């Protein structure tokens, strides 16, 4: 039984509630009766487009990808500019599953991961940003993690929307027309943005709940054993303290300067 078989089964059983609990049918792996609403869920055909590009942060992508991959009745695509390995900023490469031209025209979800200089280069590439603008205009949900929200903003998809980003650049979203909010996950109409890197797990679970309901999302959470216990409380500027925060802020000075320039340049076009 692979992960998908399992979750399909588990979800069906959980949805059915106590009545469906330990039954003979559940004791086998591949022949589970499903309650009608979950059987219907499995027949959906949602297309999830996760954009991939050189220099992206792998964890920004893979946290939500785990959650999306477990959505019953949905298919996840890693969509890149070409059928070539995409080098992530932590030193390894992943393979796109399709290209911009092959991607579904009206996805249920458009997702963009973050990064640093690779993210700004992606924004400066007309073909890449054009793809995001096009699919973002048609997608049911438009989502991001970390500095991926800079891409959405540059594509004109966050104008007058509340949104978040990595704390170090969150306020710069204003230069792309968005309203920055200091929150782990921000949902404004159909725009769902997550904070820095690790926030992808929280954003992903929020999306599962929006797409398939809280009971289904809870099954995903149990499968992921997502009961986080970081050894320190240094995950935010407030937790890490003003000194560490100011140091990081100062050290991203050049990146922030370039981010402002890139966002302003895009908004003038």
Per rule CB under 8 A, is residue 250 in the interface with a second copy? yes
Per rule CB under 8 A, is residue 112 in the interface with a second copy? no
**H or E, element range at 99:** strand 98-99
Between 27 and 160, whose beta carbon lies closer to a second copy? 27
Per rule CB under 8 A, is residue 76 in the interface with a second copy? yes
State CA 34 to chain mean position distance: 29
- Closest C-alpha to 76, from 238, 211, 193: 211
Residue 220 bears catalytic tag: no
The alpha helices in 70-161, defined as continuous H runs, are 117-124, 126-138, 148-154
Structure tokens at 41: 């869920």
Q: Which residues pair with 56 in a beta bridge?
A: 115
Dihedral, 127, 173, 120, 202 alpha carbons, nearest 10: -90
Between 137 and 234, whose beta carbon lies closer to a second copy? 234
Task: Round to whole Å and give the CA distance between 4 and 74.
Answer: 11
Planar angle of CA 186, 187, 193, nearest 5 degrees: 50
| 107 and 47 Cβ atoms separated by less than 8 Å | yes
Between 160 and 229, whose beta carbon lies closer to a second copy? 229
Cβ 111 to a second copy, closest distance in Å?
13
DSSP code, position 184: S
Task: Round to whole Å and give the CA distance between 205 and 117.
Answer: 28
If DSSP codes are grouped into helix, strand and coil, which group holds residue 179? strand
Cβ 161 to a second copy, closest distance in Å?
20
Could you say which residues in the range 216-245 bind a second copy, by CB under 8 A? Answer: 217-219, 221-237, 239-240, 243-245
Between 133 and 255, whose beta carbon lies closer to a second copy? 255
Cβ 146 to a second copy, closest distance in Å?
8
Structure tokens at 260: 């402002």
**Binding-site size, a second copy (CB under 8 A):** 86
Between 24 and 269, whose beta carbon lies closer to a second copy? 24
Structure tokens at 46: 């949602």
Binding pattern to a second copy, positions 30-49, x when CB under 8 A? Answer: --------------------
Per rule CB under 8 A, is residue 127 in the interface with a second copy? no
Please pick, from the candidates 49, 78, 139, 263, the single residue that binds a second copy as defined by CB under 8 A: 78
Please pick, from the candidates 35, 181, 184, 188, the single residue that binds a second copy as defined by CB under 8 A: 184
Cβ 225 to a second copy, closest distance in Å?
3
**Interface region with a second copy, contact rule CB under 8 A, candidates 90-98, 149-157, 174-182, 260-268:** 90-98
Per rule CB under 8 A, is residue 173 in the interface with a second copy? no
Catalytic residue among 13, 78, 139, 146: 146
Which residues belong to the active site? 146
């Amino acid at each position: 039984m692979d992960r998908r078989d399992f979750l399909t089964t588990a979800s069906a059983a959980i949805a059915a509630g106590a009545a469906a609990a330990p039954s003979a049918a559940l004791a086998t792996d591949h022949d589970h009766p499903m309650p009608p609403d979950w059987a219907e869920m499995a027949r959906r055909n949602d297309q999830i487009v996760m954009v991939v590009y050189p220099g992206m942060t792998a964890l920004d992508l893979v946290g939500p990808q785990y959650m999306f991959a477990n959505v019953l009745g949905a298919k996840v695509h890693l969509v890149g500019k070409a059928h070539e390995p995409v080098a992530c900023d932590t030193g390894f490469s992943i393979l796109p599953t399709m290209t911009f031209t092959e991607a579904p025209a009206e996805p249920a979800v458009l997702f963009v991961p973050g990064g640093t200089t690779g993210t700004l280069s992606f924004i400066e590439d007309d073909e890449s940003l054009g793809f995001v603008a096009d699919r973002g205009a048609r997608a049911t949900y438009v989502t991001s993690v970390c500095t991926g929200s800079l891409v959405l903003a540059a594509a004109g998809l966050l104008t007058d929307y509340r949104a978040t980003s990595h704390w170090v650049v969150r306020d710069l979203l204003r230069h792309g027309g968005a309203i920055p909010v200091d929150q782990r996950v921000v949902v404004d109409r159909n725009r769902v943005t997550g904070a820095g890197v690790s926030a992808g797990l929280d954003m992903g679970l929020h999306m599962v709940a929006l797409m398939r309901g809280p009971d289904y999302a809870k099954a995903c959470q149990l499968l992921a054993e997502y009961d986080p216990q970081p050894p320190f409380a240094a995950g935010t500027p407030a937790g890490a303290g003003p000194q560490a925060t100011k140091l990081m802020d100062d050290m991203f000075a050049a990146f922030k300067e370039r981010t402002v320039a890139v966002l302003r340049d895009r908004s003038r076009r």
